[in-house]
Structure 1
Amino acid sequence: MGSLGGVIATLLSLPLAWMLGALFMVMSVSLAGIKTGVNKRVHVVAIALLGLFIGSRIQAQELLGLARWYPSVIAMLVYMAIMLAGGYWIFTRARVGRISAMFCAYPGSMNSALVLAEGAGGDLRWIAISHSIRLVAVVSGAAILASFFVDDVTLRSDTYALTLSDAAALLLAPACWWLARRCRVPLPEFLGPMAAGAIMANSGVSYSLPAWLVFLAFLILGSSVGARFSGTPWRQVARVGRFGILYALFALTTAALMAWLVASFTQLSFAAVMLALIPGGVGEMAVIATVMGIDPVYVVSHHILRLLILIFMTPLMVRLASALKEPQTPPEQ
């Protein structure tokens, strides 16, 4: 069912098609009353592949360029604070719980938010709904903007072969996973492979995970989240979904205002700052930036920095949220 959803989403050119398509298809089946599920071991392996995939996109020289773009970096930090505070307030109104509300308001990677939220005890159902709506709204909006300049902004990959360097990365990931667990690093199955990917990418070892392997990881993660909706009434989904739409509009409006402010006082263009700020997928934003003639390194470096900040801030944010009393009223009421 997840594969069918991925194919349909790909034909519709949806962002993160193999994840969102699988998520929505399996979620629909689950909400229809059919029992669904994904093996936990397979799910953990998919998380490790995701960490390796993200690590391969972390380049030290890209992050060094952030010193030249400090106005937009400062704007990004302010934007993150506004999104976390505003989103947290919005989703606490939906009564999904404080920890879940915090991850629903995560201004960035849906995959990372789901992985981190699972370790923190958040409810992945509401987090998946809010981020799905945000991703579709943000990435589709950026693609529509780019369509005024070019004809094709669909993310594609022609890498399907598994090379020796790719195999080396896959073998190194489990070792870093084990090492991270021995060192008591939080989320070792995610952060360990991510560190392995970043080390290889910055050590001159050129590798790129085959597209089919990345799609398979997205498919497993999307199906796993969709399967968590078994036994969940539709009215709960509709209730939290309304707040997800409100949060997406809040994210786009705030990003536009911040980008206009930065562009007014610097030589950075409004479109470049907008793509660097809006919380969409790194790959999709990089491709859209390229076809619009904007430096993709500028856009990607901001998204990577935001992802790293969120990952390392998560333990503190979880402790703060856990220290507060959880609301007792469930979402359906």
Structure 2
Amino acid sequence: MSKTLKTLCLGSLGGAIATLFSLPLAWMLGALFLVMSASIAGVRTGVDKRVHVVAIALLGLFIGSRIQAQELLGLVRWYPSVIAMLLYMVMMLAGGYWIFTQAKVGRISAMFCAYPGSMNSALVLAEPARGDLRWIAISHSLRLVTVVSGAALLASLFVDEVTLESDTHWLALSDIAALMLAPLCWWVLRRCRAPLPEFLGPMVAGAIMTNAGVGFSLPAWPVLLAFMILGSSVGARFSGTPWRQVLSVGRFGIAYALFALAAAMLMAWLVASFTSLGFTAVLLALIPGGVGEMAVIATVMGIDPVYVVSH
């Protein structure tokens, strides 16, 4: 826990600095970049998994509080971007495989470096296939950092302001009720073997209370704290990674991340040109930045998080 506290102190400092410069999603991106820089410089960083999971649950509850039942009727209108997502995944795998084969890491490692899923699942699948786990971990970390920061910065160009409502009230009775319902929904989804129960369970809890007429609104401070923890956790993925290794692997990892962003922008532009779906919404739904991160960015920007999470 001492390492976690040290990492979160760095993340808080990064968030405060980013806030002073009015960066979009300051508490997430500021924490991410400062912790990442410190990690590469040799500082031992890391966020306890339990702390990370609680932050993800808080963000799920925050997003669920903004979901209206009538939004689910939009599912039938989303098929064009679902088709675009499948095509985009093929582009990601083919383009990423070619990029990483240029790095001469081997065909198996190149395939898992280009894998558009989470880093944890990529490592689990790659180990029995004898992929190089160091390459895969670094390439996925670079992809996540580049895509999350790039998504926030790119998407902020298409909205007037990227901020969280300045609400400083303490927890009300309805907020406490939502916090009590969230672990129950988490447990139920986990028993049902649903994906990401720590995120989707609290999100379901928030949506149930909102649509049942029990209005609640989490104050800004726990949400900003969750943003900071999430950013610090992503930045800490570089802990123990030497500069030399980051530089040798990084150019291919960043090239892949930029390719992923460019391809997502192209597909989002095509979908937005021929349908009523918005460019920024499709962009956030497509890019491989993680469910929690993309849903948070979408919610803060006023984009339907159900649409993004579904993809």
TM-score by length of 2: 0.71
Number of the residue aligned with 2:70: 61
Deviation at 1:157, TM superposition (A): 1.5
Paired residues of 1:134 and 1:244 also in contact (CA < 8 A): no
Number of the residue aligned with 1:45: 54
CA–CA distance in structure 2, aligned partners of residues 200 and 250 of structure 1: 40
Letter in 1 for 2:147: R
Answer with 213-222 or 62-71: which moved more.
62-71
* Aligned counterpart for 2:310 among listed residues 299, 305, 311: 305
CA–CA distance in structure 1, aligned partners of residues 280 and 52 of structure 2: 34
Identity of aligned residues (%): 60
CA–CA distance in structure 1, aligned partners of residues 181 and 273 of structure 2: 46
Structure 1 residue 156 corresponds to structure 2 residue 168: no
Deviation at 1:92, TM superposition (A): 7.0
Number of the residue aligned with 1:101: 113
Deviation at 1:133, TM superposition (A): 1.0
Letter in 1 for 2:251: R
Deviation at 1:47, TM superposition (A): 2.9
In the TM superposition, 1:89-168 aligns within 5 A as 90=99, 95=105, 97=109, 101=113, 105-106=116-117, 113=118, 126-146=139-159, 152-161=160-169, 162-168=171-177
Structure 2 residues without counterparts, runs of 5 or longer: 1-9, 128-132
- Structure-2 change in CA distance of 1:29 and 1:127 (3 Å): same
Number of the residue aligned with 1:245: 254
Number of the residue aligned with 2:187: 178
- Structure-2 change in CA distance of 1:8 and 1:40 (3 Å): same
- Structure-2 change in CA distance of 1:40 and 1:135 (3 Å): closer
SS in 1 for 2:238: coil
- Structure-2 change in CA distance of 1:243 and 1:153 (3 Å): farther
Paired residues of 1:129 and 1:240 also in contact (CA < 8 A): no
* Aligned counterpart for 1:193 among listed residues 173, 178, 202: 202
Paired residues of 1:52 and 1:196 also in contact (CA < 8 A): yes
Structure 1 residues without counterparts, runs of 5 or longer: 107-112, 147-151, 291-295, 307-333
Paired residues of 1:92 and 1:101 also in contact (CA < 8 A): no
Structure 1 residue 205 corresponds to structure 2 residue 217: no
Deviation at 1:8, TM superposition (A): 1.6
Deviation at 1:173, TM superposition (A): 1.5
In the TM superposition, 1:202-241 aligns within 5 A as 202-241=211-250
- Structure-2 change in CA distance of 1:9 and 1:91 (3 Å): farther
Paired residues of 1:155 and 1:283 also in contact (CA < 8 A): no
Letter in 1 for 2:149: V
Q: Deviations over 1:16-57 (max 9, x none)?
A: 322232232223223322333434433332232233234334
- Structure-2 change in CA distance of 1:244 and 1:157 (3 Å): farther
CA–CA distance in structure 2, aligned partners of residues 78 and 262 of structure 1: 12
Deviation at 1:170, TM superposition (A): 0.9
Deviation at 1:7, TM superposition (A): 1.1
CA–CA distance in structure 2, aligned partners of residues 227 and 183 of structure 1: 31
Number of the residue aligned with 2:7: none
CA–CA distance in structure 2, aligned partners of residues 119 and 176 of structure 1: 27
CA–CA distance in structure 2, aligned partners of residues 116 and 60 of structure 1: 32
Number of the residue aligned with 2:279: 273
Q: Deviations over 1:164-210 (max 9, x none)?
A: 22211111112233334445555543343233233333433333322
Q: Number of paired residues? A: 283
Letter in 2 for 1:303: V
Paired residues of 1:2 and 1:23 also in contact (CA < 8 A): yes
Structure 1 residue 78 corresponds to structure 2 residue 87: yes
